[in-house]
Structure 1
Amino acid sequence: MTDTATLAPSIRALTSVNDAHIWQLADVLIDCVEGGASVSFMLPLTRDRALAFWQRVGEGVARGERALLVAEDAQGIVGTVQLVIDQPENQPHRAEVSKMLVHRRARRQGIGALLMQAAERLAREAGKTLLVLDTSSAEAERLYARQGWTRVGVIPGFARLPGGEPCDTTYFYRSLG
């Protein structure tokens, strides 16, 4: 008998976002914020706010403005990353990586790396040659550096952690050309 909890998660792009996806994505977002991730939300993050956020993301996916990748295991969605494809007309060659989130129960299993690799593949398929992102997490910084991203610099006190404490933000880019 195979233990499904030990199977590698699958990564896929959602071409449409339904209520079940939104509910599971909200679980991941709430877990990350409660775990201290600086991802634009403050504590307490209510389920209604999390659901509304993912509804808006789903609308952006439907309009083709962004791609939404998810990592799933036997229990459902455990991670996600977005690729903001719709950029100003003088920047058609680039995309922004946004909201790379992994539920705490699924961390340290390579899910972040798999999500980033899938985002890069999707960006290449969309004709993008440059990706950018920002992060406030030292753990995420290590992930991006291992994936070949170039650290540009740090803005001290740029954002706040979910509990209100200021945190630095580090910017990265990756050339796909």
Structure 2
Amino acid sequence: MRSKVEIKELTKVKEYLNELSELLINVVEEGASIGFLPPISNQEAKKYWETVLCPEVVLLVAKVGNQIAGSVQVHLSTKQNGGHRAEIAKLMTHPDFRRMGIGRLLMEEAEAVAKQESRSLIVLDTREGDASNYLYGSLGYIQGGSIPKYARSASGELDATIIYYKNI
């Protein structure tokens, strides 16, 4: 499967707006903790994607054939004391393409982007208990700690988030 996946950087979202919106809606409906709660409207999803790109954000997508199967963002710190770090945000894999290594491929490319941008530290956070915790651990990310009651889930409960980092 890995050979059929193409990872590419998007510099414009307009051409992919419908697919990106569908991806966001599907992963949120499946319970992903990426800042949105279900139900999320197509209009809300489109509005989000229309505002994602800026000079300090690199948007990567995974394509299988002609379909977007996942995405991840690399946020390059612009702070004077943070030019050495990047943050991974909103790693998403479409439910139809899970367990195929797409998340891993996106993370590997995100790390390559960070290195290319002369970043030596990557940070990220994810909901405690999510499958993504296993992925990040398998990629060498180290738990830096947790914050209890960080984000509200669809059920209304407040879930903890785990902070990860990796020196590259």
> What is the TM-score with the length of structure 1 in the denominator?
0.89
Structure 1 counterpart of 2:113: 122
Structure 2 residue 26 is the aligned partner of structure 1 residue 34 = no
Choose from 4, 18, 35 the match for 1:8. Answer: 4
Q: Are the counterparts in 1 of residues 124 and 165 from structure 2 also a CA contact under 8 Å? A: yes
**What is the CA-CA distance between 1:17 and the residue it aligns to?**
2.2
In structure 2, the partner of 1:23 is 18
Gaps of 5+ in 1: none
Aligned position for 2:135: 143
Paired with 2:4 and 2:141, the residues of 1 have a C-alpha distance of 24
What secondary structure is seen at the aligned counterpart in 2 of 1:138?
Answer: coil
Q: Which 4+ residue blocks in structure 1 deviate beyond 4 angstroms?
A: none
Equivalent residue, structure 2, for 1:99:
90
Following superposition, the deviation at residue 6 of structure 1 comes to 8.8
Mapped partners of 1:163, 1:41: distance in 2: 13
Aligned match for 1:55, one of 44, 50, 54? 50
Task: Confirm whether residue 76 of structure 1 aligns to residue 71 of structure 2.
Answer: no
Task: Pick the aligned partner of 2:166 from 162, 165, 174.
Answer: 174
Tell me if structure 1 keeps the 8 A contact 2:2–2:100: no
Structure 1 equivalent of residue 144 of structure 2: 152
Q: What's the RMSD between the two structures over aligned residues?
A: 1.5
- Residue 125 of structure 2 corresponds to residue 134 of structure 1: yes
Shift of 1:110: 0.2
Residues 69, 6 of structure 1: CA spacing in aligned structure 2 closer, same or farther, 3 A cutoff? closer
| 1:8, distance to aligned residue in structure 2 (A) | 2.4
- What is the aligned residue count? 167
Is 2:122–2:165's contact at 8 Å kept on the other side of the alignment?
Answer: yes
Distance 1:78 1:131, change over 3 A: same
Shift of the alpha carbon at 1:94? 0.4
Bigger drift between 116-125 and 132-141 goes to 132-141
Task: Structure 2: give runs of 5+ residues left out of the alignment.
Answer: none
State the match for 2:100 in structure 1. 109
Contact preservation (8 Å) 2:69, 2:94? yes
Q: Displacement, 1:89?
A: 1.4
Q: Report the equivalent of 2:76.
A: 85
Moved more, 156-165 or 103-112: 156-165
Q: 1:6 to 1:151 in 2, by over 3 A?
A: closer
Matched letter for residue 21 of structure 2: A
Residue 75 of structure 1, CA deviation? 4.3
